[in-house]
Each structure stands twice: as structure tokens, then as C-alpha cells.
Amino acid sequence: MTLIVAAVFLIPPLSSSAAGKEIQIPYSSRKDIPRDYKWNLNDIYPTKKAWESDIKKAECLAVRFKKKFQGSLDKSPVHMKKALEAYTELSRIEEKAYVYINLELSTDESDHHIQALANRADIMSAKVSEHTAWFSPEVGKIQESTMKKYLNHPDLKIYKNFLADIAHSKSHILSKEKEELLAKVSPLSGTAQNVYSMLSKDIKFPSIMDERGKEVQLNRVNFSTYMESPDRTVRKAAYEAYYATLAKFQDSFASVMSAQVKSHNISADVRNYKSAIEAALNPDHIPVKVYEELLTSVHKGLPQLHRYMEIKKKMLKVNELHMYDISTPINERNSSYIPYEEARKMVIEGLKPLGLEYGSILKKAFNDNWVDVYSTEAKRTGAFQWGAYDSHPFVLLNYQGTKNDVSTLAHELGHAVHAYYSKQAQTYINSGNPTFTAEVASTLNENLLWESEYKKAKTKEEKIFLLNQRLEDFRTTLFRQAQFAEFEKNIHELDAEGKSINAETLKKIYGDINNKYYGSAIARDEQIPMEWARIPHLYDYDFYVYQYATSFAASQALAQQIQDEGKPAVKRLKEKFLKAGGSSDPISILKNTGIDMSTSKPIDEAMQVFKETLDELEKLLSKE
């Protein structure tokens, strides 16, 4: 069991990025960026010396924890409480030190000194895991009668959910010796992710000509932007150049993917799970049927996605619709650069339905340097929210002034405020927000921001633009993440059957799924089967992306509640959801808001909203 409970919450990978103009990056180097646009990590540690002190302290506490408590957890409730308090103290220090240095690394991944310090944190974390690996097995072996007393003892009330989770996974906890062995080799589990990250960073892409006839260097950051260029020649050039470059490294990417999949399947087998999906979902009490019903419901909705592609084809006035066409807006409104200060105002205004208190936390985030805004060459791509229990949340952006960047800001602040509420309301051990619920908070913000913009729209053109944006949100978050989830499921099953995972196999599987999702309106591009090589989350985590889709559906339902009920729904959202943290399992937390994700109903209802949005778009188009 890992001690670090603070999760990195990222924007869904490779969603469209509303552009069409020349990319504007205000600052060429990090030192040129004003302090107001950079987070302040001194809020966690004032000096590296203080950080190093906690690194050493965590290692010492881990040794002391094992020496003092191993073999005695069934002694008494009082003794168990002391053990859990020591475990919590150790975990908080480890988490704080680990988060701090990795946040710093994310702003400059080329800094060799910070790389070395991050490696030091990895070593510390591995040592802590090694000296605490016995803990869960020993808790799991406590006699049922004794555990029952512990779960009902008033002194252990705040640890009840934590202990119940271990009891829930009891049959999958190994012996002390095996857990210690796995802890020793745990640093290897991140190898595939690290290799993928380095490989992706080191690949150099060719130059293309942009909309102004200027030669520009294609890279991981600007590729998605050029996919929304209004100039089809630019889109095609970027698309073909990017995937042709990836194809040169297809065997390397496939080897990394194969290693990642094998590690998941081996771990699941060792821990006596039926599948890698079950191993990934079980710790959060998520039934495998939730994953399966998501795919089933999405498959039922594919005719509507095909319909959307047909509409897009007509609106773009192309004889053939290619994958490099589908991210471009159907009109060019709002494609101009949006200053960050304006984006802040848009987010605060759009999230007003969540109340004054929520708004005050947003302002605190902006005023107290929670957000690292602008991209620089060595900064980690994408966006995320992260933080320790003993720090405020931190949000990383790569802001380029696009409409999608405004949505990304709202998304990551959804994570940040959720974390802020959870840490305020819950003890450390219950403060972590599982991804399954965390992504609901973030996509809810995107939904409310869209609703705010649509209500303000006065012209037909504005409404068409915004309706297309909403349809794109559905496509990239519900359909696209389900598509990734289906691919992930298929390749894990392929490996479990003893079949080879190689580049040609991966391309065949991915290409077939892509054809199924997008239908006959899309031309069969030879490049798209390589897209699996640029989906970071397939290398970072196991069975993570499906949660974007389920959360998107849940957030649609919550937004509807807020629209229908107003303040009562907001109060319920705050008290029953945003403050819940990890005090219960994700399915139960959402049920407390009136949303049952153990059924297909939320997905089916989201599909209906997608259909109604399509209907509205077609109605407006028919008036032209």
C-alpha cells in the first residue's frame, strides 16, 4: 500500500484546444515570467535544507514504525490507534517531500540538479514502502472478531474507512515477505512511464508552414493547436508530419506499452485478481460492471457521434472528412488570444452558480499563487492539479490564450477547490479524493462555464460556436476516453491470453476501434492507427481514462441539479460531495448526491443530452 494519497489530477489527454491563430507564448524563459504567474513552492518548504530534513525524517520514522509496531497490531484498540497515528505522521511527511520536489521538476524537466533531488525522493519513498510493506498484510490477518471491535471502537472512528478498505482487499494482500519483496522492486513499476516520457521528450518533429506561411517547429505542445487551424493545409501537414515521426519509433513505443501491460497483468495475477481491470478498480470499490456498462452505453450512442461527424463534414464543406479535420471549429468566432486576466474573470463569472464561498476560494487561488500559468520549453506539457495535505493545491497550466485554455483553467480549479474543501473537512487519512469522484468536480466546472457562455450568447453564430464546443466536449471526454478505455481493455486481454503485443497489432486494434467510433463519415487515414503512441495516460496509469467518461456523465447530472434546484443542490454538492474526500467509497459518495454510477442511467442520460445538443445545432443550421 502506498502512503502517498495526494493524486495528480490531469486534464484529459489530447482534447482539442480551440485555436486557429498563431500560437502566442508571452515568455521565452521561466526567469522572465513575473512572480504573479508562477506558483510559490516556498509555501511548502522555505529552503532545500528543510526539504532534505524531511526526507531523512521520513526514512527514520519508517524504520522506527516497523520496529515498534510490527507483530503487535492486534494487541488493543489503543495500540492500533498509536500505530495509525504513527503511520499518518510518516505518510504526511513522505507525501509533502515527494510532492514538493516533483512540482519543482515539472516546471523544468531538463534541470539535472532537480532531477537528482527527485530521484532522492524516489529512493526515500521506496525505503518507506519497504519498511511499511508489512502493515497491510498484518492488518488483513487480524481476526474478524478483533477487527469488528476495531471498526466500532470510538477511538478508531476516523480510521474506520481506512481499516475497512484493507479488510475489503484482504484476499488480495500477500504475505509479509511477498509484500516486502514487491516493495523493494516497486521503483521498477514506473519504468514504462519514465521511458515513455523521455522518449516522447527526446523525439524531434519536423517543421511545417503555419497559416501565415511562417516555418514553425512542430512539437508535443503545439500539435493539438495546429489540429484546430482553420487552414486545412496546415492541419494536414501537421498531422502527417507528426504521425510519420511517431511511426519511426513505433517498435520502441510498442515495447514500452507491452512492458506496461505485462506489469499490470502480472501484478493482478500475483494478487489473485481475475483481471487487471478488477485489480485497478477494486481498491476503490468500483465494480468491473461500471467499466463494462460504460462501453456498452457508449456503443449505443455511437450513431449520434456518427451523425455529428456527418454534420461536421457538411459544415466544413469537404468531400472527405479526415481525422485532421474533426477538431477544427465549424466557425472561427472566439479564436483570438484571450489574456490570462480575462480568463480568470471568465472562470469566476462562469462558476457563480456554485456560490459566494466557492468564488472566494477561486480568488484566493489566483491571489495566492496557486497557479503556474505559462509554458516554457522544458516545462511539463498539459495541465494538472497536485498538492500535499499540508499545502494548498497547486495548478500547472501551459496557457496559450485559447478558449480551451480557459476551460482547462476551470477544470483544474475544480480539482483544486475540491482538494481544498476535502482537506478542510477531513483528517489526513480520509482526505484523498479518488479519481472517480475528483474528475466529477473538474468537469462540472467546465459544464457550468459553458452554460454561462451559452446564456450570454446573443447571435446565431455565437450559439453555433458554443454548441459545437459542447459537442466537442462530449466527443473528447465521453466518447474519446471510452475509446481509449476500450483499447486499454483489449490489449490487456490480448496479453492475458499470451499473445504478442507489437506495433502492428496495436495499430490494428486501435485503427479498428477508431473506425467503429467515428463511422463511415470519416476517411480511413493511414496515420490514425499510430495515435496510441501519443496517449500519455496509457503509459502513466492503469485503467485511468475511463473515469473521465464516467465523471463527465456524473457532472452532467450534477449541473442539471444545480440548474433545477439552485441553492439546495449547491449545498448538497458541497456538504455531501466536495467535503467528502475519501471518507467513503466513490460510488456511495455520488449516491449521496442522487447519482447512481453503479447503473448505466447517468451515461444514458448524458447520451440524451448529446443528442439534444445535436438537435439544437441542426435546428439553428436549418435557419441559414
Give the C-alpha separation, 60 to 139, whole Å.
22
Task: State the sign of the Cα–Cα–Cα–Cα dihedral 151, 154, 158, 159.
Answer: negative
In the DSSP assignment, the letter for residue 204 is P
The CA-atom distances, in angstroms, between 371 and each of 6, 31, 156, 251, 408 are 17, 16, 37, 38, 12
Q: H helices within 108-159, ranges in order?
A: 112-132, 135-140, 144-152
C-alpha distance from residue 33 to each of 28, 37, 158, 395 (Å): 9, 7, 44, 16
SS3 per-residue string spanning 512-528: HHHHHHHCCCECCCCCH
Please write down the HEC assignment for all residues of 410-458: HHHHHHHHHHHHHHHHCCHHHCCCCHHHHHHHHHHHHHHHHHHHHHHCC
207's enclosing H/E stretch is: strand 207-209
Q: Parallel, antiparallel, or unpaired: how do β-strands 394-399 and 9-10 relate? A: unpaired
Determine which helix (DSSP H) or strand (DSSP E) holds 364, and give its type and residue range.
helix 356-367
Spatial contact of 258 and 448, defined as CB atoms under 8 Å apart: no
Name the residue type at position 221: V
CA distance 53 to 47: 10
31-39: long-range pairs with CB below 8 Å, 24+: 33/373, 33/374, 33/376, 35/369, 36/369, 37/340, 37/371, 37/372, 37/373, 37/374, 38/107, 38/369, 38/372, 38/373, 39/103, 39/369, 39/370, 39/371, 39/372, 39/394, 39/395, 39/396
Q: What gap in Å lies between CA 331 and CA 468, rounded to an integer?
A: 9
Q: State the amino acid at position 564 in one-letter form.
A: D
CB 347 within 8 A of CB 371: no
Q: What is the DSSP letter of 401?
A: S
Question: Distance between CA atoms of 500 and 503, rounded to whole angstroms?
Answer: 10
| CB count in 10 Å sphere of residue 9 | 25
Report residue 342: phi and psi, to 5°: -70, -40
Three-point CA angle 166, 432, 365, nearest 5°: 175
Using DSSP's 3-state secondary structure scheme, residue 374 falls into strand
* Catalytic site residue from 412, 446, 453, 531: 412
Short-list 284, 142, 121, CA closest to 190:
121
Contact 432, 5 (CB under 8 A): yes
Bridge-based pairing of strands 394-399 and 371-374 is: parallel
**E strands, 139-188, in order:** none
The Cα–Cα gap between 602 and 613 comes to 17
Query: Could you confirm whether 451 is annotated as catalytic?
Result: no
Read off φ and ψ for residue 371, nearest 5 degrees.
Answer: -110, 130
Residues marked as catalytic = 412
